A and B are shown apart, each in its own frame.
Chain A
């Protein structure tokens, strides 16, 4: 059973298009995250939701819009894709904000290539 799953695994698209990445966790966690990993493997947090409420919103272009329909799902929609958006996007989850043990569980990643 996959704890944190993402779809699609690979996404190749043209500049200017709009695309979405989906994430689901079956761990019963309250908190979910989106990270971006660039070509140099540097991993940076983008957003975090706790029980469907946005709690972390880093300096990310507003072309990126997360949506959490319920606490098990956190999707990422990207408008007007640019070349610089090419990266691997990871979804993660953890128990709850302020939990004593805040291990994060990561999905397998979505490799986005913008042509």
Chain B
């Protein structure tokens, strides 16, 4: 069954604005990861947050994790047209042999 579910499914913003995507999951996890997929390409890892962490930053990315609510959010600040892509959250369960369960993704369009 699908573990992660993102919302919104699609997001359209102007360059310079912030983009926030949310992810919910159902079971206990070891970590949660965010990936980006440009059209016609493979996925690229963005950031990993462990279950005992609450917030993590990487450049213009900020990820939060609330294990009590089983949810995470990805914030992209000062967005650029090059950020246009699909963003996926993926969860790894404890003892799960690195098995990632992906959500359906959020399609982000950043307009110049």
Contact = CB atoms under 8 A, between A and B. Distances in A.
A41 B44 CA distance: 15
Contacts of B104: 40-42
A31 B2 contact: no
A77 interface: no
A48 B98 contact: yes
A83 to B, nearest CB: 22
Interface of A: 4, 31, 40-45, 48, 50, 55-56, 90, 92, 94, 97-99, 101-109
B43 interface: yes
B41 A42 contact: no
Nearest to B102: A43
B98 A42 contact: no
B97 A55 contact: yes
Main secondary structure of the interface of B (DSSP, over half): strand
In the A-B complex, the 7 residue pairs with the smallest Cβ-Cβ separation, listed nearest first, are A106-B42, A43-B102, A106-B43, A103-B45, A55-B97, A102-B98, A108-B42
Interface residues of B, number: 23
Interface in B1-47: 2, 31, 33, 35, 37, 40-45
A41 B41 CA distance: 12
26 contacts: A40-B104, A41-B37, A42-B2, A43-B102, A45-B99, A45-B100, A48-B97, A48-B99, A55-B97, A56-B97, A56-B99, A90-B42, A90-B43, A92-B42, A92-B43, A94-B98, A99-B98, A102-B33, A102-B98, A103-B48, A104-B45, A104-B98, A105-B45, A106-B35, A106-B43, A108-B42
B49 to A, nearest CB: 11
Interface string B87-111: 0100010000111111011000000
B97 A50 contact: yes
B72 interface: no
Given A41-B86, A42-B2, A102-B48, A4 B99 contact: no
